[in-house]
Amino acid sequence: MPARGSAGPLVSIVLPTHNGRDHLADSIESCLAQTYRDLELLLVDDASTDETPSIIASYARRDARIRPLRNPTNLKVPASLNRGFAAARGELLTWTSDDNCYAPEALATLVAHLDAHPDVDIAFSDYTRIDEHGRPLPERPGGTGIGDIDKLPLTDTVGACFLYRRAVHDALGGYDEDLFLVEDYDFWLRAAAAGFRYAFIDRSLYFYRVHEGSLTTRRSAQIHHALERCLTRDLPPLSSRMDAAVRARAFGALVDLALERGDRPAAARHVLLAVLRGRVAPAALGAGRLASVFEPGPLREWRLRRRLRRLARRVFDLVPSGRDVVLLDDGRWGAHRFRTRSRRVIPLAHPDGITPTGETTLDALRRIASSAPVLVVGAPAFWRLDASPPLVEYLHRHARCLSSDERMRIYDLEPDGGGAASSGRPFKGSAVCAPESPDRRVGTDGASAHWVEPAARNRRQP
């Protein structure tokens, strides 16, 4: 069995898992295959009910560097991380998830950088996105968005591959157990506010698996709510370290999160927080955003109806009369706004990201496509095209993009004759529907707004 050498500081990797049998072995193997050998791997089983315990026990028998831990009840990711790091002996710390993998040279590269730069507290690198079967996915426009630490208040620019000194963990007191789903992003924001120094290594040293079973896909509404609480607490202490433009965008994104929930009182509180503690000029938040917060309800609803009527007219201009439409808008716009006497509009998913039947988005679309062969993807659901490679591949192979812009994409799901031939009228238009860039989101009224991307990590915790 491999034993610890004396070539460098001990690295502690914490790997929390709950029912992670599908990819856990791959993740463990990637840790044990590191060219940097001075490591310990703490496997924290968060009360799994599948074969996870036997997988962990098998690896623990084979390699003395593995230290298994088990929670008697399901404590979720942040509590599992804290338990793992409380038991860790390493001078340098990191963690990974049960469906992602390290490149073999990942730890060696990160350790070497910290050794060569004693003034750096946190080293991090880029990653490569892979699908459920481990195949690399096409790069998104703008790449992964990792690396620019000055934009950390806007989005998680640290990502999933990192190594930090124990002093960082001790100073921050570990991960906030009340911020499940965004605990790592909160950790990075607090580290930045405390003055710890980051260093980016411009290499891909990690493989991040994207699949519809991940929490990022299944719990979008909960992630946004947790993110809102995180930013409410973490942005004010960071204000003095941001330039004026970043401050305005960051606090504006916080306001947008409350507006997406339909909570105008919370949005108003966030505006006051931005002005009083964030030192953001009200005008910098944007007249449209302030109107969404403070204008009377009837006027706001009238503006929303007018915007959506314009979008509906675009659909009606492109899609022949009598053709039913599938609407994927996460319940933000409302299918009733697009209906006519000769056209049904079928909603595909609720605001919580779950389809009405509990199916995946792709399975539901396949079932409905035969009766409603036109798909309209509204801006509030653009994130699904990034979170679901199978959905994107299906649209690429089986659909034709009729129209695409920052607010809406329209697909003909029967491009080989069904759309035009069955209706007697051809669909108008053709476009390229590119995946959405990871650092943009469009608000519930169709107006562009910045989205603070949640932590770049898949989790299986229920």
pLDDT, average across residues 351-374: 74
Question: Nearest 5°: phi and psi at 429?
Answer: 95, 155
| Rounded Cα distance, 447 and 307, in Å | 9
Helix, coil or strand: residue 252: helix
β-sheet bridge partners, residue 369 = none
pTM across the whole model: 0.79
Phi-psi region of 375 (alpha: psi -120 to 50; beta: other; left: phi over 0): beta
Residue 449 pLDDT > 50? no
DSSP state of 450: E
Cβ atoms < 10 Å from Cβ of 288: 14
CA atoms within 13 A on the CB side of 146: 30
In this structure, of 181-190, 208-217, 402-411, the range with the lowest mean pLDDT score is 208-217
Q: Are 409 and 379 in contact (CB under 8 A)?
A: no
Who has greater pLDDT, 150 or 9? 150
Lookup: tokens for 106 = 């990942």
pLDDT at 357: 57
Q: Using an 8 Å Cβ cutoff, are 338 and 376 in contact?
A: yes
**What average pLDDT does this structure show over 327-334?**
83
DSSP state for residue 395 in the 8-state scheme: H
CA distance 396 to 357: 24
Q: What residue spans of 103-243 are helical by DSSP H?
A: 106-116, 166-172, 183-193, 215-218, 220-238
Q: How far apart are CA 444 and CA 441, in angstroms?
A: 10
* Residue 311 to residue 335: CA distance in whole angstroms: 12
Looking at per-residue confidence, does 366 or 252 come out higher?
A: 252
Q: 455: pLDDT confidence band, cut at 50, 70 and 90?
A: very low
**φ/ψ (deg, to 5) at 143:** 75, -155
More confident residue, 287 or 323: 287
Q: In the predicted model, is pLDDT for residue 433 greater than 70?
A: no
Q: Does position 344 have pLDDT exceeding 50, yes or no?
A: yes
pLDDT category, 125, cuts 50, 70, 90?
Answer: very high
Whole-number pLDDT of residue 434: 54
Q: Which domains does the chain have, with CATH numbers?
A: 11-210 (3.90.550.10), 222-294 (no CATH), 311-438 (3.40.190)
Q: Is the pLDDT of residue 120 over 50?
A: yes
Give the H/E segment covering residue 245. helix 244-260
What ranges in 370-435 are assigned the alpha helix state H? 382-387, 389-398, 418-421
